[in-house]
Amino acid sequence: MKRAAVVALLAFAALALPAGAAAHATLVAITPANGAVLERAPQAVSVTFDDTIHVAPGNAAVSNVTNASVLAGRATVRGRVLTVPLRAGLQKGDYSVRWSIVSDDGHREQGVIAFAVGAGSPTPHSVLGAAAPLTWTDILLRTLYYFGLLAGGGATVFGLLTGKLLGEALRKPLAQLLFLSLLLVFLGGSGIVHSAPAGTRFALVVKIALALALAGGAAAALAPTVRALLPVAGAASLALLLAPTLSGHALDPSQPRVLAALADVAHLAGAAVWLGGLLALVYVVPQATGDEPTRIAAARRFSTVALGAVLVIGATGIARSLTELSALHQLWSTSYGRALLAKTVLFVPLVGLGWLNRALLLGVFARLRRSMLVEITVILGIVIAVAILTELRPGRESARGAAAASSVQVAQPPVLPPRDAVVDARELGSLGVAVARTPGRATVTLLGPDGTGVSGRSVLVAGVRAAGCGPGCYGAPAPAGPLRVTVSGRTLTFTVPARAPDARALLRNVTRRYRDAKTIVFDESLASSPTDEQQTRFSVVAPDRLSYAIRGGSSAIVIGTRRWDRDRAGAPWLLTAQSRLDVTQPYWQTPTNVHLVAPGVVTFLDRRVPAWFRVTLAGRLPSRVHMTAAAHFMTDRYVGFDMPVTVSPPPSR
C-alpha cells in the first residue's frame, strides 16, 4: 500500500493523544531454528535482535520427555545477542528452549522454540510456553504516569497564559493542581520503575522523572506560602514532558532520529496544553476568581491556544504515524493499529465536543465548566488507550519482525470451552488434554506444563482432523458415544456424553458437606509427568490442623500458625512459621460446566486455575477426585470423613 494512502486514512487517527510507542527489540534470527532436526546437539541457542537487549527472568531449556532442565548455566547477553547455554552431550530426543529478554526501553519479550537431536527424527514441538501479557496493573500505572505528565505540563502553560489576568489569586489553586499532577507521576512511575530491569534506558529515564516529580511536588506543596517555589514546580512539570520521548520509540535506531523525537515532543506538548488547560479551567479559575467576565476572558485565552494545540497534535500525529505504520492493513491486523483506532473512536467526537464548548458555551462559564468535565473524562479514556499503546509493538516493527517471529512459537493461556459444554480431562505425558462436548461437536484443549495453550499439534477427534480455534484449542465434529482423541499419534478415550444433567445444586451440596467435615483422611497421587509421581497420605482436622507424609520422602505437621517439617522418616523436625490454613476447603472454588455425566460422577471446570475435575461420589461426599491442571495431575482417594483423627505436634527430643 502506498504511503499516501496510509496518510489519508490515518489523518484522523493520528490526531489522537500521544501515539508514540516505546521501542521493542525485534527478533532478527535464532539458531538453531524452531523445529530444526539436528544430527549433533548444539552447545547453545543464540537469539539475535536488532537493538540492545538485557537478560530477563524466565530463560529455560528442558527435555521434552522428562521436562528436566538441560541448561548449562545462566543465559547471557552480548550486545544484541542472547545466548542460552545447553549441557554438553545431549542425547537423541526433543528439547524445548524459552528465551526471555528485555529491550532497552524496559519491554519484556519471550518466545519458545523446539529442536530435535538425531537425524530422521520427526519435527519437534515445544512443551514450554512464553508470554509477556499486559496486565491491568501495568495499564493503571502507565495511565497515572501519562495523565500526571500531561496535566502538570499543560497546567503550567495555562498559568503562564493567564498569570497577569488572574493575578496573585492564581498561585494557590495552580500549585494544588501541579502537586496532584506530580503526585500522579510519582505514583505511576514508582510502580513502573519497580518492574523495569536495571541498566535499561527506560529505567534510567523513569528514575530521573521520579526525582523531578518528587522535587517538583515538594515545591508545589510549599508554593502557596513560598511564592518563589511555584516556578520550580512548573519547570519540573515542563521538563517531565521530555520523559516519554527519551525513554520511548522515538529514539529507536529504526526511526528518523531528529524528526521522530521532535514530532513526539511536540505531540506531547500539544496534548498537555489541551488536557492541562481543561483541568485548570475546571479547577484553578473558579478558585482564583468569582468575577464572570474574568473567568470568560481566561476561557477565551485558553480557547485560542487550544486550537493551535489541536493543529500541532494533528500534524505531529501524522508524522509519527508515518514512522510507526508502513501499510494500511496494519490498522486492523496489529494490536497497535487496533488500539490506535480505538483512540480515534474517542477522539473524533471529542474534537466536536470541544468545538461546541468554545462556540456555544464560551459566554456562560458555569455551563462551559460542566461540559469540560465531560471532555476531560473522554480524554482520560484516550490516555488509557495510550497506556496500552506504549506496550504494543508498532505496525512497522510487526511487519519487520514477522519473518523471524514465524519461527518462534509464542504461547498464551488456552482458550477455554463454552460454559454450557460437558467437560472432562486426562493427562497425556506432560500435557493436559481436556474435551468439551456439545451435541455434534467436540473441542479439545491442550494445556502445557506452564499453563499455556499448546498449539501446532496434530489432533484427531474420532479420526477427523481438528481445526485450530485459538491457543491450545482444537475443534471438530463429534459422533455420539465414547470420544476418541488422538494427539500426535497417541490416543485417549473419553466417556463424557454430549448432553448431561446440570449438577450445580448437587456440587454445592457436596461442597457444603465437605466444608462441614470435622476430619478428613485421603490418599493423594500427584504427578507432573509420567516419570514424576508421588504418593501422600493427608490427615486434616478442622479448622486448621493438617499432617501429611510422602511415601519414601518428606512429611509435615501444620497446627494453626506453626509448622514442623522433616525430609525423611526418623529425621529431626524443623519448626517454622505458617500462614493459617483452611483445611476443609476443597481444591475447587469457582466451578463452571458442572454436569452429572454418570450416576454419582460429576465433572466440571474451575476457570480460575484452570483445572478440570472428575468427582466420584459416595452419597453426598466424594470418594475419588481427579484433577487435571498444568503439570499437576492429581487423584485423591478418600479414606473417610469425620473419623477419629488426631494431629498433634511432634514429640520433643
17/390 Cα distance (integer angstroms)? 12
Q: Are 312 and 270 within 8 A, CB to CB?
A: yes
**Positions of CATH 2.60.40.1220 in the chain:** 25-117
Q: Specify burial of residue 173 (Cβ count, 10 A radius: 0-12, 13-18, 19+).
A: buried
* Local confidence band at 362 (pLDDT 50, 70, 90 cut-offs): very low
Q: Give tens-digit pLDDT for 601-636.
A: 999 999 988 999 999 999 999 999 999 998 889 999
Contact 188, 143 (CB under 8 A): yes
CB 362 within 8 A of CB 303: yes
Model confidence at 575: pLDDT above 50: yes
Spatial distance between the Cα atoms of 262 and 248, rounded to a whole number of angstroms: 13
CA dihedral 204, 207, 211, 213 (to 10 degrees): 120
Compute the chain's Rg from CA coordinates: 30
Helix axes 292-324, 335-360, angle to 10 degrees: 160
Maximal C-alpha separation, the chain: 89
Amino acid at 628: T
**One-letter amino acid of 429:** G
What is the spatial distance between Cα 5 and Cα 38, in angstroms, rounded to a whole number? 46
Residue 402 has pLDDT above 60, yes or no: no
| Span 1-50, pLDDT tens digits | 333 333 333 333 333 333 333 445 677 788 888 888 888 899 999 998 87
Name the segment(s) of the chain with CATH classification 2.50.20.10: 504-641
Task: Give the model's confidence band at 213: pLDDT under 50 very low, under 70 low, under 90 confident, else very high.
Answer: very high
Residue pair 607/590 in contact (Cβ under 8 Å)? The answer is yes
Find the mean pLDDT for residues 407-420: 73
When pLDDT is cut at 50, 70 and 90, the band that residue 463 belongs to is very high
Q: What is the pTM of this model?
A: 0.47
For the ranges 229-238, 245-254, 490-499, the lowest mean pLDDT is seen at 245-254
Order of strands across the sheet that contains 483-487:
464-465, 459-461, 483-487, 490-494
490-505 per-residue burial string, b: 16 or more CB within 10 A, e: under 16: eebebebbbebeebee
pLDDT of residue 312: 74
CA pair distance 602, 504, nearest whole angstrom: 9
Find, among 385, 251, 389, the residue nearest to 323 by Cα.
251
Q: Hunting for cell 481566561 — which residue is that? A: 298
- 259 to 13, 245, 251, 256: CA distances (angstroms): 19, 12, 10, 6
CATH 1.20.1530.20 fits domain 25-117: no
The residue with greater pLDDT, 556 or 271, is 556
Give percent of the chain with pLDDT exceeding 70: 75
**For residues 93 and 63, is the Cβ–Cβ distance under 8 A?**
yes
For range 511-526, the mean pLDDT: 96
- Report how far Cα 636 is from the mean position of its chain's Cα atoms: 33
Span 548-558, pLDDT tens digits: 999 988 999 99
CATH code given to domain 504-641: 2.50.20.10
Over residues 104-163, the pLDDT tens digits come to 666 778 888 889 898 777 778 887 876 655 566 777 888 888 888 988 988 999 889 888
Residue pair 584/591 in contact (Cβ under 8 Å)? The answer is no
218 vs 290, which has greater pLDDT? 218
Single-letter amino acid code for the residue at 498? A
Q: Residue 270's pLDDT is what?
A: 79
Flag the least confident range among 250-254, 276-280, 388-392.
388-392
The segment with the largest mean pLDDT, out of 65-79, 321-335, 337-351, is 65-79
What is the predicted pLDDT for the residue at 28? 78
CATH number for the region 422-494 comes to 2.60.40
